[in-house]
Structure formats: structure tokens, C-alpha cells
Structure 1
Amino acid sequence: REAQIEAARRAWREGFVAEAIDAFSRLPFRDSSGRAHAGLVSGDDMARWSATWEEPVTLDWHGHTVAKTGFWGQGPVLLQTLSILDALDDPAVYDPSGLDGIHAQAEALKLAFADREAWYGDTDVPGSALLSAGYARSRAALVGDRADTSLRPGSPAGAPPRLPSHLRAHAAGRAVPQDPSTGEPTVRADGVTRGDTCHVDVVDRWGNIISATPSGGWLQSSPAIPELGFPLGSRLQMCWLEEGLASTLRPDRRPRTTLSPTLVLRDGEPVMACGTPGGDQQDQWQLLFLLRHLAGGQELQEAIDAPTWHTTSFPASFYPREVEPGVLVLEDRIDGDVLAGLRARGHTVRLSGPWSLGRMCAVTRDPRTGVLSAAANPRGAQGYATGR
């Protein structure tokens, strides 16, 4: 079995898959510039790359261990946000449906995502400092009674944060050119445009558990390789071409992807996998789910079905990297008094449909009983929970 698996890996890196990618990448295709360009991936690139194991970044939180990918991706944003909420030392901040909770969570998310812009990338990242209790307390001190509309990265290791000139220009009020024709495709219920990241969680009776968020190329914008039936990935759009940044495009470096699966352990044993499509919203929607399930005691389906929201008050990962200072996007099922309170605190409230935000799914296994559970999102009629 291991020999067969390794043979498949060699076919990918050095065999017919690599050969087809090498040949296809030499062909010119029109891109978003309006001109035709050849690709950059070569057979040599394929041969020199191999999937590896790596330790997750973790946070011990309320009797559980939450595990995410490393700081090369956005996953630790979730851990930073949980740490900031704990540092606020107020039970009300854990309620994703109440006024105090939504306000505090939104402000904590803004601070964590600001750090993502300044520090995250496939390079040397001060990860221990970013997740330290002392740093969380210093960030929590910035959470005020009113919504903040600025981008406020911190200095976890004492060094000044590094932001792209694009974002510095935006912060200074200078106009930034935008092209709405590019970026991540979105799900449309009317069938005009369909496409999004996928997320899959699986658990078996022996306790093997997987959380995966596969995404990388879209048929709408990336031509498929005829012999293989799939397009090349387009996640390098996450990188900056400006030099000297944590997520600057470099050889042999991964993009600072938004893909963010989650595993949760209890007493060192995996008990839950969860995740969602949604780009920059992935860790925001997962935050609400974990607060409701782990801290609030709600059942999986109840936590997924509850009204959802997110903020767009930080730079988007996808071109044109828009920032909407102070904006909160909320399902209109949220209590009207809460919405009025958020406006009074300076948030720009943008209402969405009653069942329009979030694509969460989750699976669990109770190690004591062996009972398996699953839940999926009813929004968009695209989520499924199945068992046998």
C-alpha cells in the first residue's frame, strides 16, 4: 500500500501529471491584464516539490486545544482572536448574538487581521509572541466602547509592522485604483455564476478525523489542462509583488492563503473537525461557531444555524484588496435592538438576507462513548451531513 501511494506521488511530481503541467504552462493564455502570457510552473518545479508533514499552531482554550495551520496561512487569526477575547475578561464578549459580544468580537477580529497583514507569511514569523498572553492583553487594551475604523497591526517582537504601500495609501486617504473584474468567484443562487471554495470534515469510528479546505483554481478564470481535467492553482494572487513584506512573492514560498480548516482536541485526543468556505470570512464564521458550541454549549446544528455576521473592516486577501472601514455585515435575523446598538457604537451595519452568511460544517466524536455527530449548513442548499 505504501509503495502504491509513493508511486502515485511520483507520477504527480515527475510522471504524466508533471509532464502535462509543464507542456500546458508553456502555452499563452489571456489573463486579467488583457494580454496573453505563458505560465510559470515547470516540470522541474514539480519534481523539486513534495508534500510534507508539519506541526499545527495550537491554542489551549476553555478545556480544548484548537489547532490551525501555521502562520503561512491565515488560520492563526482565529487563535489570536480567541486570546484577545479571553484577555478582555468579560463573559459577555463570548456571545455572538449579543451587543457586547458582537462589538468585542468584531474589534478583536480587526486587530488579529491587521496582524495578518503585517506579519503572516511563509517566512520567519514571531508566532510565539503573536500568541502570547502578554501580547493578547496589549491588543485587548485597544478594544474600546466604539468601533475603530483604522488598521492597527501590533509589534509582537518589538519590530515595527510592515504594511504594503497600497494599504498605507488607503489609510492616508489616497485613492487606490480598483478593478472589479478579478478576485475570488462567489456563489450565486440564480446560477449566473457558481464557484467557491469547498470544505470537507470526516471522522470514523476509530477516531481518525480530517478537516480539509481544498481550493486553488477556478474554471471561470483558469483554463483546465485537457489531459488532467483541472486548472492550475491561482492562490499566488494572495502574495504581494512589493519587496520586504511577510507575504512578498518569493521562490519556494507558499501564498498566505485564506484556506483555514480547524481541528479541536480534548485531553490530547481529537474530538471535532470544522470549517467553511468563504475567503477572509472563514475564520470569522468559525469563531462564532466555536464560541457557540465550545463556550456556549450549543449543539452542532444549533450553533451553525444561529444568525451569522462578519466584518470587512480590514484588507481583503483578493484583488483589489478592498477595505471597508467599520463595516459589519449581518444576517437580518439578528435582534433589531442589537443592530441599533451596533450603529450607536459606530459600526456601519450592512444587512444581508436571513440565511445568507456562512457555510459551516462540522463532525465530532466523543472518545468516551464513540458516538459520531455531524452538522451542515442549510444556507445555499450546498452543505450535507451524512453518516453510516
Structure 2
Amino acid sequence: MMRTRPELTGSFGAVASTHWLASSSGMAVLERGGNAADAAVAAGFVLHVVEPHLNGPGGDLPLIVRVPGQAPRVLSGQGVTPAAATIERMRAEGVEHIPGTGLLAAVVPGAVPAWLTLLRDHGTWAPADVLEFAIELADRGHRVLPRVARTIAGRAAFFREHWAASAALWADPEPEAWATIRNPALAETYRRLADAGRGLGRDAACDAAIAAWSEGFVAEAIDRHARQPVMDSSGDAHAGLLTGDDLAGWRPNWEETMSLPWRGTTVHKAGAWTQGPALLAQLGMLEPLLPERADAFDADLVHAAVEAAKLAFADRDAWFGDGADLTRLLEPGYLAERRALIGESASLELRPGALRGEPRLPRVGAVDALAEGPGVGPVGTGTATASAAGTGEPTRGDTCHIDVVDRDGLVISATPSGGWLQSSPAIAELGFCLGTRAQMLWLEPDLTTSLAPRIRPRTTLSPTMLVDDDGAAAALGTPGGDQQDQWQLTMLLAMRVLGRTPQAAIDAPSWHITHLVSSFDPRVWEPGGLHVESRLGESTIAELRRRGHRVTDAGPWSLGRLSFASHEPGLPGDGPTIRAASNARGEQGYAALR
């Protein structure tokens, strides 16, 4: 059993994230007396600066918070569609699918108001204090990741031809890997948010910064920007539908989690507007099929997990959406019905259940799971062709994640994403671009994810909170689009079935299916598609192929970017035990702990 990082254990606090500068900034906040909420917010704003290809101020943010002695709660920082966003209006723009890039897919940017809401409701610092780290990195510069440099290089020609502000911000000149890059416009945006609350009490300062974003200079700039047509992945130029009034009319909100007791813990997820309940469904289906303990991931265990994932994500694609009723999803009878469909061979069908009557899937085309591009294969419920790939959306191992714990037991799991530099033109005066989350909605009526005004697109962003029967609490999550609640499943199985520590569980070989309707352009599915890390072993992979899985060997260390942080209360007179773990894949995730 290989372990890439030491097991981190302490008693003061921990921050784990997908970039070491975010982790170190969050840890600095804890060391200076801030709590987990202060640290998470500081780290979140830093991620906007250092991982701009994976998230930004114009993006989205779901997070889960566990306050000691209270049930975990979800903060929904997923902005809604514009008031003008109707299927008829989009059809009038001449598009068959909502483009994956440009302005038509923009929704209300929710990340910044959500971070500031977390700070107001659970933090102790003022906005000016938590923004200090991001402002310095944006203004004075930081070393750009090779992945960011490659992303910019891949879009530079398009930027110069179509998105002049993006070219000026990112590609003039194109940065080399590890060169210093700056974003003074973003630094100034954050200064203005901080200045909005100076001289006010802490809560009032947070509200003033939110107002400056949603009703002040940011909203005004976004309103002007969205009115200008720009080229998008449809091949034509379109203006956006988002307005300043849309921003003014929306605020983040607190919600209850969906949860499932499982092997000595309760797993908490966000609701039907995310894919999060699919993780709970996988666990509920799998439990009677799992051994009490196993030494490794063998073909039987992986096959069962893969088939459960196919069923859970078919339900996601048929039933999940903003406001959807998922009350039957975790009922024992329904889970038993779904479990009975898991056979000895790999399914090549999309099989949603009758959760609330006859299921309906969007019209999607199928591609060969082992081919280089779109091909001929079984079709789900229609024959729509796949659009060309390369539209700028991160779909494999991307997005960001942060887990934070303090010594008092405040635990936070957050998955910020959207507003990627490659997906929408930069707003020159603000230093960031809008998100494109509405691409996850459909221009077909009567689906749970049909486009409509003022709804949350069903998002792939999916933080997780564990609350053990003994009172311990843990935050975990990963980037990865449709893979997030699959890679998290492999970690939970490694922890609770293989008996591995958090770091060893992150390092365990991983897998995911592509036998689902992709949430990103192109909106297709790959019958039987299964990506695995070669460390599963030749014999296990061969047996999976024999059972009919269309296996792609993704290499030894390629799938997942998980992180983890936990708080275990100590005995009377003792301090807590705090643990943290991070992912070595991609060479940028780190955990900091004392």
C-alpha cells in the first residue's frame, strides 16, 4: 500500500485544498486567531487568483458547515438564471443547446456573496482582513501553474480574435509555466469590496461588501458587459441575458442537508439542485453488497460500485433539479428495487428508476467509450448529435475544493467553481469573467432541468460532510465535474471497507464511469464507459473487461483531487484530534495543520 504524504495529525487546526497557496493562506488566518470560517473565506478568495482556469469570482459555491452541537447546514452560493432566460428566448437566439462558452449561459455569480455570507454568519474577521491575501497575490503577482499556462496558450488565438479583454488580461504576453502573473484589476475589485465596509461593524461590513457586489459597482459593470454580443461555442456572437437587476434580486441561502447513515457515520450532502444525493444513493444501494472488510479493491467490489453509480446517475439525469422531490430516493424499498438491477455483467443501458412515475431523460446521443471522438452507439432517448469538444469547460479533475477545521470543532467543506478564464470573456474593469453554469440546463420542456427563469442549474459541485456516531466530524471533496461523487465514493469505500486512513484512502487507486449524461458540452453519454487507474491491477482490470465494462486505463495516478480535514473531540481535559489529508495527483494540492 503506497502513501504519498504523511498522515497529518494535530490539535489546533487544519486547511486542505487544491492549491498550496490557498491552504497556507487559510492556515495563516487560523494562526492569527481566526476561526475556520475566516480561514475558508480567505482561502476561497485566494483560489480565485491562483486557479483562475478552475474557478473565479464570477462562479458558484456550494458549501456545508458543521457548527459544534448543531446539525450541518448547506449554504447555496449557486446563482440563478436571469429573469429573461426562457426556452423561447434562447431558441430565438438560434441555438439548439445552451452554449458552453460566452454569455448566454451566464447566471447570477454566487461565489463572492456566498463567501461573504459565510464570513458574516460564522466568521470573526472583517472582509478587509480576509481579502488581504488575495489582494496581495493578485496585485504583486504569483507563480502561474503549468496547467494555467497551458490553458491560456490553448485559448490565446481565440482570445485575440474574439475576446480582446481576455487577451489583454491573460495572453499579452502568454505566460510561461511558473512565470509571475498579476491581475491588478481583480485586486482593485477586492479593495473596493473591502472599502465598502470600512468603519462599520463586522456584520454591517459584510453586508456592505455584498451590496457593493450585488447592487453596486460590480453589478453595474456586469450589466454593461453582458449587453455586448461576443462569440461563443455555437459559432455565432450573442449577448447575454444577465442584468444588474438579476444580481440585485438574489442572495445566498441556508438549507438543510440530505443525509444517509452509513457504517458509523452520517453522510451529509446538498440537495436536489446538486448531484450530491447521487453519492447517498450509491452508498444505500451498495451497502448490502459490500464485505464488512476487504484488503483491496477487487473486481467484485469495483463492479458493484460501478453498476450502482450507473443507476444513481441515471436517476440524477432523470429526476434531480432545483426544487425536485427526492424523498423516495433513499427509501429502503426504492434502494432495493435499484439494487436488484445490479447483475454479473456490465449494463450498457441508461436505466433511471420510477422515482415519481415514468422517468424522462433529455434527448442525448451516445459515443463510443473507447473511441477518439463521437461515434455510433446505443442512444438514450434521442438522436441529438454531439457538438465539437474543446469548448473551454473543465470536465476531468477540475474545479477547486477547500476543507477547514478549527480546534473548537467548526468544520467547513466547500467546492467553488465556475467563472473559468477560458469560458467567458473577461470584464476588463473587474478582472474576471462570468460563469456558464446554465449550460447544464436543457432547451426541452418538462424536464427537471429545463431552462426557466430564476432557477438554479443542477450543478456537479458537491462538498461532503461526515458526522460520526461518536461526534467526530469531517469535511471532504474533490474537483471533477460528473466524477466528484464517484471519486468521493472510492475514498469512502477505502476508509470504511478497506480500513485505510484518510491519506491512504486518497492515495488508493480510483475509477469513474462515463456511462452518464455529461453535464458539460458535448452533452453525450458513453455506454459502458469506465476509466480506471492502472494501480487497480492487471487481473482486476482484465476481469472488469471480461464482464463487459469498456475500460480505459487512465494511468497510475490520474483520477481525483480529493482533500480531507476532520475534528475528533477529546476526552475531558484533553484537546481535540485534528487530521488532514490531500491529493498528490497533479502536484498542487496540499494540507496544512498544527
Q: Please give the alpha-carbon distance, in whole angstroms, between the structure 2 residues aligned to 1:183 and 1:130.
A: 34
CA contact (8 A) 1:309 1:331 kept: yes
Q: Among residues 36, 48, 64, which one is paired with 2:237 in the alignment?
A: 36
Aligned length: 378
Q: Please give the alpha-carbon distance, in whole angstroms, between the structure 2 residues aligned to 1:183 and 1:70.
A: 27
Letter of the structure 2 residue corresponding to residue 377 of structure 1: N
Residue number in structure 1 paired with 2:205: 4
Q: Please give the alpha-carbon distance, in whole angstroms, between the structure 2 residues aligned to 1:242 and 1:377.
A: 39
Residue number in structure 2 paired with 1:170: 379
Residue number in structure 2 paired with 1:102: 302
Q: Please give the alpha-carbon distance, in whole angstroms, between the structure 1 residues aligned to 2:450 and 2:249.
A: 21
CA deviations over 1:13-70 (Å, ceiling 9, x no partner): 1111111111111122111122221111101101110111111111111111111110
Is 1:83 the counterpart of 2:289? The answer is no
Deviates more, 1:370-379 or 1:31-40: 31-40
Q: Please give the alpha-carbon distance, in whole angstroms, between the structure 2 residues aligned to 1:334 and 1:183.
A: 31
Residue number in structure 1 paired with 2:457: 255
Deviates more, 1:172-181 or 1:277-286: 172-181
CA contact (8 A) 1:197 1:278 kept: yes
Q: Which runs of 5+ in 1 are unaligned?
A: 188-194
Query: Which runs of at least 4 in structure 1 moved beyond 4 Å after TM superposition?
Result: 92-96, 172-175
- Seen in structure 2, the aligned counterparts of structure 1 residues 32 and 174 have a Cα distance that, compared at 3 Å, is closer
- Give the C-alpha shift of residue 327 in structure 1: 1.8
User: How does 1:315-334 map onto structure 2 within 5 Å?
Assistant: 315-334=517-536
Is 1:129 the counterpart of 2:328? The answer is yes
Residue number in structure 1 paired with 2:227: 26
Q: Please give the alpha-carbon distance, in whole angstroms, between the structure 2 residues aligned to 1:277 and 1:264.
A: 18
Q: Among residues 580, 587, 594, which one is paired with 1:374 in the alignment?
A: 580
Q: Among residues 242, 248, 262, which one is paired with 1:47 in the alignment?
A: 248
User: How does 1:349-364 map onto structure 2 within 5 Å?
Assistant: 349-364=551-566
Residue number in structure 2 paired with 1:192: none
- Give the C-alpha shift of residue 220 in structure 1: 1.2
Q: Among residues 50, 55, 67, which one is paired with 2:268 in the alignment?
A: 67
* TM-score normalised by L of structure 2: 0.61
CA deviations over 1:159-181 (Å, ceiling 9, x no partner): 10011123598236847243113
Q: Please give the alpha-carbon distance, in whole angstroms, between the structure 2 residues aligned to 1:93 and 1:338.
A: 18
- Seen in structure 2, the aligned counterparts of structure 1 residues 161 and 175 have a Cα distance that, compared at 3 Å, is closer
CA RMSD, aligned part only?
Answer: 2.0
CA contact (8 A) 2:395 2:481 kept: no
CA contact (8 A) 1:81 1:112 kept: yes
CA contact (8 A) 2:400 2:415 kept: yes
CA deviations over 1:320-367 (Å, ceiling 9, x no partner): 122111121111111211111111111112101111111111111112
Letter of the structure 2 residue corresponding to residue 234 of structure 1: T
Letter of the structure 1 residue corresponding to residue 364 of structure 2: H
Letter of the structure 1 residue corresponding to residue 358 of structure 2: P
Is 1:212 the counterpart of 2:411? The answer is no
Residue number in structure 1 paired with 2:389: 180
Letter of the structure 2 residue corresponding to residue 156 of structure 1: L
- Give the C-alpha shift of residue 227 in structure 1: 2.3
Q: Please give the alpha-carbon distance, in whole angstroms, between the structure 1 residues aligned to 2:328 and 2:234.
A: 40
Q: Please give the alpha-carbon distance, in whole angstroms, between the structure 1 residues aligned to 2:536 and 2:463.
A: 26
Q: Please give the alpha-carbon distance, in whole angstroms, between the structure 2 residues aligned to 1:370 and 1:176.
A: 55
Letter of the structure 1 residue corresponding to residue 521 of structure 2: Y
- Seen in structure 2, the aligned counterparts of structure 1 residues 236 and 268 have a Cα distance that, compared at 3 Å, is farther
- Seen in structure 2, the aligned counterparts of structure 1 residues 292 and 174 have a Cα distance that, compared at 3 Å, is same
Letter of the structure 1 residue corresponding to residue 439 of structure 2: Q
CA deviations over 1:232-269 (Å, ceiling 9, x no partner): 11111111111110011111100111000101112484
Q: Please give the alpha-carbon distance, in whole angstroms, between the structure 2 residues aligned to 1:96 and 1:244.
A: 44
CA contact (8 A) 1:71 1:122 kept: yes
Identity over aligned pairs, percent: 54
SS in 2 for 1:184: coil
Letter of the structure 1 residue corresponding to residue 314 of structure 2: A
Letter of the structure 2 residue corresponding to residue 176 of structure 1: T
Q: Please give the alpha-carbon distance, in whole angstroms, between the structure 2 residues aligned to 1:175 and 1:67.
A: 36
**Higher CA-based Rg:** 2
CA contact (8 A) 1:93 1:101 kept: no
Letter of the structure 2 residue corresponding to residue 324 of structure 1: E
Q: Please give the alpha-carbon distance, in whole angstroms, between the structure 2 residues aligned to 1:124 and 1:93.
A: 36
CA contact (8 A) 1:201 1:211 kept: yes
Q: Please give the alpha-carbon distance, in whole angstroms, between the structure 2 residues aligned to 1:306 and 1:48.
A: 45
CA deviations over 1:158-210 (Å, ceiling 9, x no partner): x10011123598236847243113252367xxxxxxx9311111111111111
Q: Which runs of 5+ in 2 are unaligned?
A: 1-201, 367-377
Residue number in structure 2 paired with 1:241: 443
Residue number in structure 2 paired with 1:115: 315
User: How does 1:275-354 map onto structure 2 within 5 Å?
Assistant: 275-354=477-556
CA contact (8 A) 1:120 1:246 kept: yes
- Give the C-alpha shift of residue 297 in structure 1: 2.2
- Seen in structure 2, the aligned counterparts of structure 1 residues 95 and 102 have a Cα distance that, compared at 3 Å, is farther
SS in 1 for 2:592: coil
Is 1:203 the counterpart of 2:405? The answer is yes
SS in 2 for 1:22: helix
SS in 2 for 1:129: coil
Residue number in structure 1 paired with 2:342: 143
- Give the C-alpha shift of residue 295 in structure 1: 3.6
